[in-house]
Amino acid sequence: MSTTAGPVRPVYLLLDTSGSTARGGFADGRDQAMPLVVDQAARHGGLALAVLMYGTRADTLVWLGDPADIKLIPVVRPGGLSSLAAGLRLLADSVRADIARLTADGVGCLPPAVLIVADGLPTDEAGALLDARADLAAALTDTGGSPPPLFAVPAATDRLAVAGLRMGFYPLDTATPATLAWSVRGAFDRLLAGGAG
């Protein structure tokens, strides 16, 4: 990443790839949304984009980098539980490591932004989830005070539970994979506009 282009905003996309996303075309819509999101990120400029996923465990699909350089996002087959806690812990570790690396490279960083795309609430035990959320909060605070993550989920999801995770709520239109894809893109736009609620 260039050291002359000014500060960048790391943007993290955390995707739910659990088994239930096979239902109702959610996984298809999520996959269709990825090119839309990457294109939008590239057009926006000044962003670094990373894509992470969580099922029973979490993994990194695309390491943080210039979205214009992203040519391929690996397709993940739905499977496993919905361990958002695993996702949040990976996210916290990634934020710390990425910011350290960018800083070491002389790249200025704006506060990171996080969009989580899920088909519902997680399956984690509440205590483990809240611990992971606290870990992420600490990582984000250490890196400049980010807005709360934006949690994009089907509109019927328990909004109170999302509030309990101290995340913004974005209702997804899951009528078809296509509407879901554009809805995820809408959530991404909201994130870039700085609105988490």
Partner 1 sequence: MDGPFDKATVAGLAEALRLDPTLAGEPERLRRALADLAPDDERGGWLLALAAAAGVPALLGQGLVAEAHARLCDLAACRADAAAAAVEAWARALDGAAEAGEFAADEVAAGGGENWPEGVLAGLDPDAGGAAAGPGEQPGMPTALRVALWPDGGPVLAAVTMQGVFVVDGVQAYGRWRRVADVRAPLSRDAALALETVPGRVAWTDHDGVRVRALRRRGARLVLGEPRVLAVPPDGAQARYPVAVLGQPGGDLSVLWTQDRLHLTLTEDRAWGTRTQPGLVPGACGAGERLNGLHWCLETEQTGWLLCRTDRGRLLAARWDVPLNEAGHWADLEPPAVPVAATLVCVGEVVFAVAATQQGDLLSLDVRGALSGYAGWHSVDRPAQVSAAPPPRVLASGARRDRPALPGWLALAGPGGVWAMPVTRSGDTLECGNPANVWTGE
163 touches partner 1 (CB under 8 A): no
Nearer to partner 1, 42 or 81 (CB): 81
Cβ–Cβ < 8 Å for 111, 129:
no
Q: Applying CB under 8 A, which of residues 10, 87, 112, 122 lies at the interface with partner 1?
A: 122
3-class state of residue 172 by DSSP: strand
120 touches partner 1 (CB under 8 A): yes
Least distance from C-beta 105 to partner 1, angstroms?
39
125 touches partner 1 (CB under 8 A): yes
Angle, in degrees to the nearest 10, between helices 126-142 and 84-104: 10
Nearer to partner 1, 40 or 56 (CB): 56
Distance, CA of 116 to CA of 154 (rounded, Å): 12
Nearer to partner 1, 81 or 130 (CB): 81
Cβ–Cβ < 8 Å for 16, 78:
no
Q: Applying CB under 8 A, which of residues 36, 42, 73, 81 lies at the interface with partner 1?
A: 81
123 touches partner 1 (CB under 8 A): yes
Q: Counting Cβ atoms within 10 Å, is residue 3 exposed (0-12), middle (13-18) or buried (19+)?
A: exposed
Q: Where do the DSSP E strands lie in the chain?
A: 9-16, 47-54, 58-65, 113-117, 150-154, 168-172
60 touches partner 1 (CB under 8 A): no
87 touches partner 1 (CB under 8 A): no
Using CB under 8 A, list all residues that contact partner 1.
18-23, 55-56, 78, 80-82, 120-123, 125
